[in-house]
Structure 1
Amino acid sequence: MVRLWFALGVVVVVLTVYALVDCALLQRSRVRGLPRWVWMFVIVLIPVIGPVLWLLIGRGRASTGKVVRSFAPDDDIDFLKGLDRATSDQERLRALEQELADLDAPDPRDLGSTGTADPTGTTGQGKQGGQTGQTGFEPKKTEPGEGDLPGRRDA
């Protein structure tokens, strides 16, 4: 029976020392309920209940380490970096649109004698007899060997 009381005494002393050291070294923001010095008195003066109360109530939970702060949009660096990326995307989009517009521009070689471009690539001459198709333009005629021949793979 003496061994049991001795073992329980050792457990109580170890628990009290652990709770006291933990209370003394814990961050101030994690101490809950009472001031730190009051918790130390409770741990020392109330042998079993004091350390148990400290571990259950006085000790706050560990934070995740990430502090969540709200910023105004012009103070948030990540938001401002996103704006730079969006601006560069807009510039890239404008450059691509300009490139497409340049591709759609009439080729000076396709201009007829009147100086206007024909979208079909002809020089503005219609079918014989003055009749043209519904659009008013005749499709460009290709020479043999220019890709419209059956059996050619490069067409």
Structure 2
Amino acid sequence: MIRLYSLFVLIDLALLVIALISCLSAEESEIRALPRIAWVFIILLFSPIGAIAWFVAGRPARPVRLSNGTTWRPGSGFPERERSAAPLAPDDDPEFLKSLGEDKGLLQRWEADLRRREEELRKQDPGQ
């Protein structure tokens, strides 16, 4: 039983040391969720949970290799050169504004047809 406990202590100590080295060697701007000093305290005070939390939630995210061969770093967003050139809002789109003029004629025809039908219904049913 003592051997098992000593094995757990050694694993915990190794995880603690590895997490501390990883935390202290990471760039401050790449550390996620909390500042570096908070991660150091969490790793030291809540062993081994703090070290596991560092590897899950605090360690800098690794670049992802996409299927087209490029790499994407999480958190880098979309650079301006990769964004589409489409207008952001419909009222900035000239094609949309042109279509509104075409729809206006259609709307007027529908209103005229509706008025004609209402007049026909009034003529058929004078009691109401």
Question: TM-score scaled to structure 2, two decimals?
Answer: 0.50
Query: Which protein is bigger by CA-based radius of gyration?
Result: 1
Question: TM-score scaled to structure 1, two decimals?
Answer: 0.41
More helix by share: 2
